[in-house]
Chain A
Amino acid sequence: MATDLRISNISKIYPGCIANDNVSLQFKSGKIYALLGENGAGKSTLVKILSGVISPDNGEVFLNEKNLKLSSPLDAKKNKIGMVFQHFNLFETLSVFENLSIDATEDNKSLRVRINEILKKYNFSIDLDVPVLNLSAGQKQKVEIIRCLLRSPKVLIMDEPTSVLTEQETEELFISLKKFCDEGILIIYITHKLKEVLSLCDEVAVMRKGKVVSVSQTQNEKVETLANKMVGQKLGKIKKKIKISKNKDEIFKVKHLNFYSDDPFETNLVNLNFSVKKGECLGIAGISGNGQNELFQILSGEIITPNTSIIFRNKEIAKLNPKQRREYLMAFSPEDRISQAAVPELKIYENVALNNFKSSNFFEKGLVNERKIKEHSKKILSDFSVNTDNVELKSQFLSGGNLQKLILGRELITAPELLICYNPTWGLDVGAINYIHETLIKINDQEKSTILISTDTEELLKLSDRIAVIYKGKLSKIMPSDEVTPEKLGILMGGGSID
């Protein structure tokens, strides 16, 4: 039976912010719909309303012309609306089976049979009796999907499902979603990734500042047109002039970098040698899990490896810890903004103070010089166009883009000679990505160097002067980026050879 979901004049107002402003949309089964928008555009609020987690101030939801009253998640479930949240709603310490059985109405035996049928049908391989905390992000998402499928849903809503997935897992997800769609499930796909919209979805609704600004067929759209609708202005195209300068000084030189670990979840690094010139951006490409984490930690001084030589500005720094390396004017922006780069529970200015220097005078005789830190933080907020001027705000309330700007600002305001960043635009929306990219290019223009470790090939080709690929802990030869194509990188990232 065909499903028809209609949202009519939904509004939701929070103090100081209109999350949804008179939103009306219509969806029909047999298609995959994209709901596109930047962080904070109101997509998540809308899907929370659809799944009964929060109730709207105004407006109605109709499923097959029946007016739905969604005042709790149970109502959504009863009406066959399934929802996979961005932050998984799983019980980490319970087993997969326990997670699935918690809201089941049937007995465990027949439930297990049904789960196994679903596993087989969609080619999922998950051990039902291990605790969820042992699963990878992709597997956790499959558990969430199975939980929805068990209730034979008419509508399946996916909230930014690929933000935690590897490329391989993303492909698998898309295959499954297309299968669900063929089986008549109406799929609403929430994302800020433009390419996913174009490759997966049939129709796209763009949201901005709580309003639906456009609804269109994806075949009539291109990445650029969607981006402009999403951001609400024309985005300048960023192109960097690649400069290959043979005679410039090498500011950073790594020799014999080896890393061996007993932990099966870590990757060993085998004899890495490379150098970075003044004003240059060295890109390091690779599929995640090929040693990037370990490399970043060694370069930042979190891990000290024996027999490695790291020369920075003519000094041997291989034995120095991150704080000492910062004193020599290195700066770091780790991949995980929330847990590695910033402390989410701390206020903005406290997070700024974490990165203190002898010269910054944040602390005097063991006491905190709050006024000075706050002044300094205000400068970072305005210089790096973070969307707030309240330094007392807890960092967890910043969106990903603003938090990344704050972190970059914190690192860059000391005018470092070398910035090492790892996936700096991970999970950010187009506007923020653009800003970060511009900032990184500006650094190079000021004759400062960067090392960009990234899993995003496009980003690497856009920003790097030279590129190397890391695969299973080994580094390929370093190539000037005007000689590199995405195809070449793809081959190297997959472990192939291009010679």
Chain B
Amino acid sequence: MSLDISFIGILIGSIMASSVPLILAASGELITERSGVLNLGVEGMMIIGAISGFALMVITDNLFIAIIVSMLSGVIISLIFGFLTQSLLTNHVATGLALTIFGIGLSAMLGRDFVGIPGKDFPILFSSLRESIPFFGPILFGHSIVLYFAFALPFLTNYFLKNTKLGLIVRAVGDSPVSASNQGINVIMVRYCCILYGGGMCGLAGAYLSLIYTPQWIENMTAGRGWIALALVVFATWSPIKVLIGAIIFGGISILQLHMQAVGFRIPVQFLIALPYLMTIIVLVVISRDSRKIKLNTPTSLGRIFYKEK
């Protein structure tokens, strides 16, 4: 294996690409959880996004519509969750699990006719720069617009939560829905919005998989990424920037261990496969040790049902 500089550039580029669905889904879920709602349906919403995006691409041959529809389908499926947990006051955990199972089943059914159909090339930006600049070219350029958006998202999320009024309201609702309600904030409404936003981002994450990363439909193609995204949010202690770091580490080690397997390191394959999970947890635990900060970032009311006094 030649470890020259341009190879490393390409490698980093592919690591970035593999972490995009995690960043998108985790950033969306982070907002949901910050409002105090625990939606375990991330995997289900992602896979619905993946099949609806791919199906619309095949039917309309328009990638833009496909992306929009995948996000919308994420929103719609999360609306079910929102209605059940916020209006009918069902348990967050049980409802979220049901959503994931439902999503996987529904996507398999809808996707039967789309198996084996080849995808379409997604337009990439600055492809000429990618070739002409060594090392940095493949890292910075030649990606889809979704990737640029994904890498900006944690910073936008951070800014939103820390510096905007709406972000403050989301945090307040997650901290104490009763107090927020007594302050005249419409808690149910805020939570609905956060759930729908999370659904939209999960839908987009799914579309990235089926339209851009591996442009085709394969049953159960999210392969547990939704669960990783969920775990990232918790291990990153609800900090958007740490979510980004965690997603890159996970994506990075997933790619690296593939290369290590290919080269034939004398390490058991099972260990290599487990490595991304292990390393991500270790790194995130180490960078999030400050118990005071954890307390300040953790949405106190996470997963608790809120109902208004009458």
Spell out A's residues near B (CB within 8 Å): 48, 51, 53-55, 72-74, 77, 85, 88-94, 98, 101-103, 131, 133
Q: Mark each residue of chain B from 175 to 187: 1 if its CB lies under 8 Å from any CB of chain A, else 0.
A: 1101111111100
Q: 13 A-B pairs, CB-CB below 8 angstroms?
A: A73-B182, A73-B184, A88-B179, A90-B176, A91-B171, A92-B300, A93-B295, A93-B296, A93-B298, A98-B168, A98-B171, A98-B172, A103-B184
Give the CA-CA distance A48 to B181 in the complex, in Å.
13
State the Cβ distance, B238 to closest chain A Cβ, in Å: 10
Give the CA-CA distance A94 to B185 in the complex, in Å.
16
- The answer to whether residues A91 and B169 also contact, given A54-B309, A54-B310 and a CB cut-off of 8 A, is no
Pick the most buried of B165, B181, B183: most chain A CB atoms within 10 A of its CB.
Answer: B183
CB contacts under 8 Å to A, within B180-205, are 180-185
5 new A-B contacts, CB < 8 A, other than A92-B300, A93-B300, A94-B168, are A73-B183, A88-B179, A93-B298, A101-B165, A131-B296
State the Cβ distance, B42 to closest chain A Cβ, in Å: 24
State the Cβ distance, A18 to closest chain B Cβ, in Å: 16
- The answer to whether residues A73 and B296 also contact, given A91-B176, A92-B176, A102-B168 and a CB cut-off of 8 A, is no
The reply to whether A53 and B309 contact each other, CB–CB distance below 8 Å, is yes
- The answer to whether residues A102 and B183 also contact, given A54-B310, A91-B171 and a CB cut-off of 8 A, is yes
Size category, B interface:
20 to 34
Q: Which residues of B contact A72 (CB under 8 A)?
A: 184
Give the CA-CA distance A103 to B295 in the complex, in Å.
24
The reply to whether B175 and A92 contact each other, CB–CB distance below 8 Å, is yes
Closest to A99 in B: B172
Give the CA-CA distance A94 to B309 in the complex, in Å.
24
- The answer to whether residues A55 and B310 also contact, given A93-B300, A102-B183 and a CB cut-off of 8 A, is yes
The reply to whether B183 and A103 contact each other, CB–CB distance below 8 Å, is yes
Give the CA-CA distance A133 to B309 in the complex, in Å.
25
The reply to whether B168 and A101 contact each other, CB–CB distance below 8 Å, is yes
The reply to whether B172 and A89 contact each other, CB–CB distance below 8 Å, is no
State the Cβ distance, A44 to closest chain B Cβ, in Å: 11
Give the CA-CA distance A343 to B182 in the complex, in Å.
27
The reply to whether A85 and B182 contact each other, CB–CB distance below 8 Å, is yes
Give the CA-CA distance A94 to B297 in the complex, in Å.
9
Q: Which residues of B contact A91 (CB under 8 A)?
A: 171-172, 175-176, 179-180
CB contacts under 8 Å to A, within B148-178, are 165, 168-169, 171-172, 175-176, 178
Give the CA-CA distance A131 to B165 in the complex, in Å.
17
State the Cβ distance, B183 to closest chain A Cβ, in Å: 5
State the Cβ distance, A144 to closest chain B Cβ, in Å: 10
Closest to B299 in A: A93
Give the CA-CA distance A51 to B183 in the complex, in Å.
10
Q: Which residues of A contact B184 (CB under 8 A)?
A: 72-74, 77, 103
Pick the most buried of A93, A101, A133: most chain B CB atoms within 10 A of its CB.
Answer: A93
Q: Which residues of A contact B298 (CB under 8 A)?
A: 93
State the Cβ distance, B53 to closest chain A Cβ, in Å: 37
CB contacts under 8 Å to A, within B275-310, are 295-298, 300, 309-310
Give the CA-CA distance A133 to B298 in the complex, in Å.
13
Q: Which residues of A contact B179 (CB under 8 A)?
A: 88-91
CB contacts under 8 Å to A, within B215-256, are none
Closest to B298 in A: A93
State the Cβ distance, B181 to closest chain A Cβ, in Å: 7
- Contact check: which of A88, A90, A93, A103 meets B171 at CB < 8 Å? A93
The reply to whether A93 and B175 contact each other, CB–CB distance below 8 Å, is yes
Q: Which residues of A contact B171 (CB under 8 A)?
A: 91, 93-94, 98
Q: Which residues of A contact B183 (CB under 8 A)?
A: 73, 89, 102-103
The reply to whether B172 and A94 contact each other, CB–CB distance below 8 Å, is yes
State the Cβ distance, A112 to closest chain B Cβ, in Å: 15
Give the CA-CA distance A102 to B184 in the complex, in Å.
10
State the Cβ distance, B161 to closest chain A Cβ, in Å: 11
- Contact check: which of B176, B180, B296, B309 meets A48 at CB < 8 Å? B309
Give the CA-CA distance A230 to B233 in the complex, in Å.
53
State the Cβ distance, B169 to closest chain A Cβ, in Å: 7
The reply to whether B182 and A89 contact each other, CB–CB distance below 8 Å, is yes
Give the CA-CA distance A94 to B296 in the complex, in Å.
7
Q: Which residues of A contact B310 (CB under 8 A)?
A: 54-55
- The answer to whether residues A53 and B168 also contact, given A48-B309, A93-B300 and a CB cut-off of 8 A, is no
Q: Which residues of A contact B169 (CB under 8 A)?
A: 102
Q: Which residues of A contact B300 (CB under 8 A)?
A: 92-93
State the Cβ distance, A346 to closest chain B Cβ, in Å: 18
State the Cβ distance, B115 to closest chain A Cβ, in Å: 47
Q: Which residues of B contact A88 (CB under 8 A)?
A: 179
Give the CA-CA distance A74 to B186 in the complex, in Å.
10
Pick the most buried of B169, B184, B310: most chain A CB atoms within 10 A of its CB.
Answer: B184
Give the CA-CA distance A74 to B185 in the complex, in Å.
8
- The answer to whether residues A53 and B176 also contact, given A48-B309, A101-B168 and a CB cut-off of 8 A, is no
The reply to whether B178 and A89 contact each other, CB–CB distance below 8 Å, is yes
Give the CA-CA distance A465 to B59 in the complex, in Å.
90
Q: Which residues of A contact B180 (CB under 8 A)?
A: 91
Give the CA-CA distance A221 to B171 in the complex, in Å.
48
The reply to whether A133 and B295 contact each other, CB–CB distance below 8 Å, is yes
Q: Which residues of B contact A101 (CB under 8 A)?
A: 165, 168
Q: Which residues of B contact A53 (CB under 8 A)?
A: 181-182, 309
State the Cβ distance, A70 to closest chain B Cβ, in Å: 12
Q: Which residues of B contact A103 (CB under 8 A)?
A: 183-185
Closest to A77 in B: B184
Q: Which residues of B contact A102 (CB under 8 A)?
A: 165, 168-169, 172, 183, 185
Give the CA-CA distance A102 to B166 in the complex, in Å.
9
Q: Which residues of B contact A74 (CB under 8 A)?
A: 184
Nearest first, the 10 closest Cβ-Cβ pairs linking A and B are A74-B184, A89-B179, A91-B175, A73-B184, A89-B182, A91-B172, A93-B296, A93-B175, A73-B182, A54-B309
Give the CA-CA distance A92 to B300 in the complex, in Å.
9
- The answer to whether residues A89 and B168 also contact, given A48-B309, A55-B310, A73-B184 and a CB cut-off of 8 A, is no
Give the CA-CA distance A90 to B175 in the complex, in Å.
9
Give the CA-CA distance A51 to B178 in the complex, in Å.
14
Q: Which residues of A contact B295 (CB under 8 A)?
A: 93, 133
State the Cβ distance, B131 to closest chain A Cβ, in Å: 48
Q: Which residues of A contact B165 (CB under 8 A)?
A: 101-102
Q: Which residues of A contact B172 (CB under 8 A)?
A: 91, 94, 98, 102
Give the CA-CA distance A94 to B300 in the complex, in Å.
11
